A and B are shown apart, each in its own frame.
Chain A
């Protein structure tokens, strides 16, 4: 069965500092990997995705993530945090197209001025 582990339910960074949100997955087949962001009282917005090809994927708002098969990881990074990045971030996995997503428990990112 697929599962997703997000290390750290809450991460706090200073404005301008590096953002690193960790995601590890377990899957018996090559996965499709996603990061979503949820702002308060809103739905989930797709930040970026990995399906095949280049392992470093760039998303919206300056975020990027790298798929590392040997480490079964898909960590999310951003070089410089902005106050507007404060939100809940979810890592998700599926093993093929047209299938449900399995989500991690989420990481709440706080940005300190």
Chain B
């Protein structure tokens, strides 16, 4: 158990819909990262938050957004969903700015039908 929690574990929704994925980092970790894992693209970085502020952006679509709240949990919002958005979405957290160890949650499997 990494200490990072993600809900829900599975999500099935239809095209055009909007969903919210939730992540609670390890206690004390200030950084939260979101990654997408798909068969064709592999593991891709989406966005990073550090202590409530957006820190870095990766290959995140404009239809996707995220935020980190004062209690440091984070939410990833996916809207106008397309079939190609079906993937595993992982959240990771880290504290150590020197070694950059990131600890991953169990993921949310999103299926868009």
CB within 8 Å: A-B pair count: 63
**Contact (Cβ within 8 A) B100 A94:** yes
Contact of B56 among A45, A99, A106 (CB under 8 A): A99
Partner of B100, one of A51, A90, A106: A51
Is A87's CB within 8 Å of the partner chain B?
no
- Mark out the residues of chain A between 73 and 109 whose CB falls within 8 Å of any chain B CB in the assembled complex: 90, 94, 96-106
Contact A97-B100, Cβ < 8 Å, known A43-B105, A43-B106, A45-B2: yes
Q: Which of A32, A45, A46, A98 contacts B31 (CB 8 A)?
A: A98
Interface residues on B, range: 20 to 34
CB contacts (< 8 Å) of B64 on chain A: these are none
CA distance A76 to B105 in the complex (A): 23
In the bound complex, CA of A100 to CA of B104 (Å): 13
Question: How far does the alpha carbon of A103 sit from the alpha carbon of B44 in the complex, in Å?
Answer: 7
Which of A46, A51, A103, A104 is within 8 Å of B103, CB to CB? A46
B105 touches A101 (CB 8 A): no
Contact A90 B104 (CB under 8 A): no
For the complex, count residues of A whose C-beta is within 8 A of B: 23
- A1 CA to B44 CA, complexed, in Å: 14
Supply 7 further A-B pairs (C-beta < 8 A) apart from A43-B104, A46-B101: A36-B104, A43-B105, A46-B103, A49-B99, A90-B43, A100-B33, A100-B58
Q: List 30 A-B contacts (CB under 8 A).
A: A32-B99, A32-B100, A42-B106, A43-B2, A43-B106, A43-B107, A44-B92, A44-B104, A46-B102, A46-B103, A49-B99, A98-B50, A98-B94, A98-B97, A99-B48, A99-B56, A100-B48, A100-B56, A100-B58, A101-B33, A101-B35, A101-B92, A101-B100, A101-B102, A102-B45, A103-B42, A103-B43, A103-B44, A105-B42, A106-B43
Seen from chain B, the residues whose Cβ lies within 8 Å of a Cβ on chain A are 2, 4, 31, 33, 35, 42-45, 48, 50, 55-56, 58, 90, 92, 94, 96-107
